[in-house]
């Protein structure tokens, strides 16, 4: 039997507990890793301070890595659902980029593309592209981090430095995208933002679901009466 009837009639379960734990731990460790790494790389601290910062960086890196692995192993259905939704590209997904979801027109008064935004599924075109990029970089930064830590003795000089610069600048570039695009756009959908971050059920309002993800709402909520 569905869990939806147990919720308030105007609320829909959007984020399950594994989604919320993974997202929260990933966000916290990401920025903690960014700050400790940039501190050592850019500020040239004393040897003692750099050693302490890198020890913290390594511990955080282990948490960052096992957070991803834990999500995949403990909640494979949730991980598969997210990846499947991100890889489901149809005409409406492609057409989202014709006006970038209407955001240029709505917030910057730039008449870019058609006025109407094509209906989207669980994620819109921009979210699908960015989430695939983020998930790829999460995996890549975890792999390169471990390679720099324990693989340095067996890698050549070129491989080591290529890995190092990818690790450093890849993390910085993606962090800029997160701060300048992902976070502001997430705040524009405050219902989703509160749903993923609040303690307790990760619900959103029916109104937010119908507005931001009408295809998902019709296909996976209304027709089946369950959250998928």
The string of pLDDT tens digits covering residues 45-98 is 999 999 999 999 999 999 999 999 999 999 999 999 999 999 999 999 999 999
User: What is the dihedral angle through the alpha carbons of 30, 32, 35, 37, rounded to the nearest 10 degrees?
Assistant: -70
In order of 61, 72, 159, 164, the CA distances from 148 in angstroms are: 12, 24, 10, 7
According to CATH, the topology of domain 14-220 is: Fumarate Reductase Cytochrome B subunit (1.20.950)
Q: Give the chain's radius of gyration (CA, Å).
A: 20
Handedness of CA 53, 23, 88, 102 (dihedral sign): negative
pLDDT at 106: 86
The string of pLDDT tens digits covering residues 5-55 is 455 678 999 999 999 999 999 999 999 999 999 999 999 999 999 999 999
- Can you give the residue ranges of every domain in the chain? 14-220
User: What are the φ/ψ torsions at residue 115 (nearest 5 degrees)?
Assistant: -75, -45
């Amino acid at each position: 039997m569905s869990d939806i009837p147990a919720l308030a009639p105007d609320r829909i379960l959007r984020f399950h507990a594994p989604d919320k734990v993974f997202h929260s731990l990933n966000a916290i460790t990401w920025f903690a890793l960014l700050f400790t790494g940039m501190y050592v790389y850019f500020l040239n601290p004393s040897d003692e301070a750099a050693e302490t910062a890198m020890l913290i960086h390594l511990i955080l890196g282990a948490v960052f890595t096992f957070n991803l692995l834990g999500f995949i192993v403990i909640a494979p259905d949730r991980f598969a659902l997210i990846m499947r939704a991100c890889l489901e590209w149809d005409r409406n997904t492609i057409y989202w980029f014709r006006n970038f979801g209407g955001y240029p027109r709505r917030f910057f008064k730039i008449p870019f593309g058609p006025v109407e935004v094509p209906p989207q599924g669980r994620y819109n075109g921009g979210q699908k592209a960015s989430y695939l990029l983020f998930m790829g970089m999460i995996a890549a930064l975890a792999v390169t981090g471990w390679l720099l830590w324990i693989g340095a003795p067996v890698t050549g000089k070129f491989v080591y430095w290529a890995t190092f610069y990818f690790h450093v600048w890849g993390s910085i570039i993606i962090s800029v995208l997160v701060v300048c695009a992902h976070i502001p756009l997430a705040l524009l959908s405050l219902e989703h933002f509160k749903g993923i971050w609040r303690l307790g059920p990760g619900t959103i309002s029916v109104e937010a679901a119908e507005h931001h993800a009408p295809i998902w709402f019709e296909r996976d909520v209304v027709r089946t009466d369950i959250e998928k």
